[in-house]
Amino acid sequence: MTKVAIVYYSSTGHGTRMAEELRKGAEEAGAEVRVRHVRETVPPEQFADNPAWTANYEATKDLPEAAPEDVDWADAVIFGSPTRYSSVASQFQTFIDSLGGLWGEGKLQDKTYTCFTSSMTEHGGQEATLQVMLRFAVHFGGILVPPGYTDPVKFEEGNPYGTSHTTGPQNSDELDEATVKALHHQAHRLVQVTDKLLTGD
């Protein structure tokens, strides 16, 4: 059974919902899945006036936090971060920086990697952020499994580098149907490719 680690940071909850859909998709494809959120480093009092951020913090603070061991455990890794000025959030970057020991031991190589993101606007740096995460995997010696245009849903959702969600200025909590389908397809594809690599079929 392919082991999948979904490692993500989310402030206002969109990434949390995307990670849940990816979990469903990976389990549908027959994988064993760990979902791990990256620890919040901003003190809660600093986002107390942001209801969405506070709600997501309260909903996830007691859940298992991402640790290097989760990436070591996995055969396949799904990284997720919101877009911050065309790059990943600082919290997610800090987690990546914690993987140096595993990288030095060669324990991050030959795994499969894919990624997801969200931003307020469609052209808010989504592709650039996904490329940053894919570059992390390149440095690891990982095997990139982007969704590409491998399913009709990708022509609706539109991002070949990884699934991306646009929240809009209203900060919509809802994932539209195309995004949910794209997340499931991405997870299915990752598991299927990893299965083939593990079994040699």
How far is residue 86's CA from residue 129's CA, in Å, rounded to a whole number? 5
Listed residue (26, 190, 1) closest to 111, CA to CA: 190
Give residue 170's pLDDT: 67
Q: Tokens 């990893």 — which residue?
A: 194
Structure confidence at residue 65 (pLDDT):
97
117 closest CA partner among 90, 82, 144? 82
Residue 164: φ, ψ to 5°:
-130, 145
**9-23 per-position pLDDT tens digit:** 999 999 999 999 999
Cα 104 to chain center, whole Å?
23
β-pairing verdict for 112-119 and 32-37:
unpaired
Question: Which CATH number do you get for residue 48?
Answer: 3.40.50.360
Read off the DSSP letter of residue 30.
T
Q: Print the domain residue range for 101.
A: 3-199
pLDDT at 114: 98
In the chain, which residues have pLDDT < 50?
none
pLDDT at 200: 87
H-type helices in the chain, by residue range?
Answer: 14-28, 51-60, 68-73, 90-97, 100-104, 126-140, 154-157, 177-199
The count of domains in the chain is 1
Question: 128-170: per-residue pLDDT in tens?
Answer: 999 999 999 999 999 999 999 999 999 999 999 999 999 877 6
3-state SS, one letter per residue, for 139-155: HHCCEECCCCCCCCCHH
- Residue that the structure tokens 């990976």 belong to: 26
Please say whether the beta carbons of 4 and 78 come within 8 A. yes
Q: Per-residue DSSP letters for 122-138?
A: TTSSHHHHHHHHHHHHH
Residue 87 identity (one-letter amino acid): S
Q: Give the CA dihedral 149, 155, 157, 159, nearest 10 degrees.
A: 40
Closest to 153 measured CA to CA, from 191, 121, 183, 126: 183
